[in-house]
Structure 1
Amino acid sequence: MTLLPASWARGWSDLGLQPPSGLFDQLVRAYEEPQRYYHSLQHLHECLAHFEQVRHLAQQPGEVAIALWFHDAIYDVRGKDNERQSADWACRVLASCQASQATLERVERLIMVTQHDATPSEADEQLLVDIDLAILGATPARFAEYDVQVRAEYAWVPGFVYRMKRRKILQSFLARSTIYSTDHFRARHEAQARINLVGVL
């Protein structure tokens, strides 16, 4: 069993719920959309691989898994509310499966924190954000590939505007006392992330 179907099955099992028929394939197709260069099936696979290593740290592993599956489910390169739409889709699905209101609210928050506009305080939110940001501490070769992929998604933005906005985002991560909130990701990725970020600024 490969990572994607295994993660999917285990996530729903952890929730004690049955996913709607065809939803797995629908999500995979979403991540394969042609406008995606970074926010693609590769990114989802990398996130889920990281999660497999830290699942034991999650308070609600099923919720974190499903939030990861949905966190970039909607991705319009010109959109301003991708996270909101992705969270809404996840919540509609979970509600149709009779998930509890508490689960709906937590999954919604987990997806919305991937906007990266604030440092999360809840443990599962910290874990998910660290997984999403693990790419910053990837090997130099993978980080360079990621940098090219992000630029490709924003090919419609003039170069000087893109560089200005990209620099602002990356500097905001460098300005944090720590990029990662969890001990696991700090120990494994913090130093390399700072090297990678400084290298492109």
Structure 2
Amino acid sequence: MTVLIDPPAWPAHGTLFSHLVSDASLAELHAFAASIGVSPRAFDLDHYDVAAERYDVAVAAGAVPVGGRELARRLGASGLRVPGRARRAAKADALLARWDALLPGARDVGVELVERWHEPHRVYHGPEHLVHALDSLALLEGRPPGVPGATVVTGARPGVTQLALWFHDAVHDGEAGRDEERSAELADARLASHLGAREVEEVVRLVLVTTDHAPAEDDGPGALVSDADLAVLGSAPDRYARYARQVRAEYAHVPDDAFRAGRAAVLRGLLAGGALFRTPQGATLWEDRARANLTAELTTLDARA
């Protein structure tokens, strides 16, 4: 793992700034930035903005100076890079605007959720995933991406599917199953003063659906939430490859052999578990491509083993 820095060439606030990145681990990047006195507020999804006056300090502390193009190339190859369009949508202000439109009068809840989704240890399970899941849900529900609205499935209460996605990874400590339970508990606690008891109960239930993505056949809202959460599996091959790199980066602390074995087991379980997508729209849009993506990744993992 290497921390990289490009020359200070980006003007803002009366000075020039460099970009400070890691080619493998956000945890390493955060630790390095803290060691040279760079504020956590200088972190911007995949890099730190470092003022010109601290450039020499960063290099002296071990950051490797590279050109801007090389830094961008290394960051992209790492899986940590957040592309421009996704970056704009994942910004805290953009996410808060979406939240305010969904649940007016609950800004305090939205602020907490946005802070949670931007926690520094997240790579895949961060704000970009939230935006992708919400936009995928909008596609399934027949809404324009980024525009909150009622669900179109009979029996679903307005907004509950969107609220479930906002909360489904709100707690992410890397403990499968327990993370979903804690996220559901958070939804129960934070929404109690903003929604009726039945609506809160439904959000909690839908958050728990993402534990195993196995909604009942007659569970329309559960199928929507499950499909939206898994939609990245059916993305274009280059986007899927970036997702796979993000997952590896999120578990950078796990040795390669152990990660390959664990990841391969997950992929085999997904491929052997029946249909990945439970809504007709999701199956049409993503099933075939998802199976091709999963199979290609599994083949690569097996070859490396």
For the superposition of Structure 1 and Structure 2, which TM-score range results when normalised by the shorter chain? 0.7 to 0.9
The 3-state SS of whatever aligns with 1:22 is: helix
Deviation at 1:6, TM superposition (A): 5.0
Counterpart for residue 57 of structure 1: 152
2:105 is the alignment partner of 1:45: no
Counterpart for residue 178 of structure 2: 81
> Which is bigger in relative contact order (C-alpha 8 A, separation at least 6)?
1
Counting only pairs closer than 5 Å after superposition, residues 136-155 of structure 1 correspond to structure 2 as 136-155=233-252
- Scaled by the length of structure 2, what TM-score is found? 0.59
Q: Is residue 157–residue 199 contact of structure 2 (8 Å, CA) maintained in 1?
A: no
In 2, Cα distance between equivalents of 1:61 and 1:37? 30
1:11 is aligned, of 90, 94, 102, to 102
2:204 is the alignment partner of 1:108: yes
1:72 is aligned, of 169, 182, 187, to 169
2:143 is the alignment partner of 1:36: no
In 2, Cα distance between equivalents of 1:143 and 1:196? 7
Counting only pairs closer than 5 Å after superposition, residues 108-187 of structure 1 correspond to structure 2 as 108-116=204-212, 119-121=214-216, 122-187=219-284
In 1, Cα distance between equivalents of 2:268 and 2:158? 31
In 1, Cα distance between equivalents of 2:137 and 2:95? 12
Deviation at 1:61, TM superposition (A): 3.7
Which consecutive unaligned segments of at least 5 residues does structure 1 have? none
Amino acid at match of 1:111: V
Deviation at 1:78, TM superposition (A): 5.2
Deviation at 1:111, TM superposition (A): 0.6
Q: Is residue 83–residue 115 contact of structure 1 (8 Å, CA) maintained in 2?
A: yes
Amino acid at match of 2:137: F
Q: Is residue 137–residue 191 contact of structure 1 (8 Å, CA) maintained in 2?
A: yes
Deviation at 1:80, TM superposition (A): 5.6
Cα offsets for 1:75-120 (capped at 9, x unmatched): 11357611111111111111122x222222211111111112x511
Cα offsets for 1:148-182 (capped at 9, x unmatched): 11111111222222211211111111113311000
Pick which of 151-160 and 51-60 moved more: 51-60
2:109 is the alignment partner of 1:23: yes
Q: Is residue 64–residue 128 contact of structure 1 (8 Å, CA) maintained in 2?
A: yes
In 2, Cα distance between equivalents of 1:161 and 1:48? 32
Cα offsets for 1:33-81 (capped at 9, x unmatched): 1110000000001111112222343422411111111111111135761
> Identity of paired residues, percent?
36
In 1, Cα distance between equivalents of 2:221 and 2:101? 17
In 2, Cα distance between equivalents of 1:113 and 1:154? 24
Amino acid at match of 1:103: E
Structure ranking higher in helix proportion? 1
Cα offsets for 1:105-150 (capped at 9, x unmatched): 211111111112x511111011100000001101111111110111
- Higher-Rg member (1/2): 2
Amino acid at match of 1:170: L
Amino acid at match of 2:103: W
Structure ranking higher in strand proportion? 2
Q: 1:80 to 1:119 in 2, by over 3 A?
A: closer
Counterpart for residue 285 of structure 2: 188
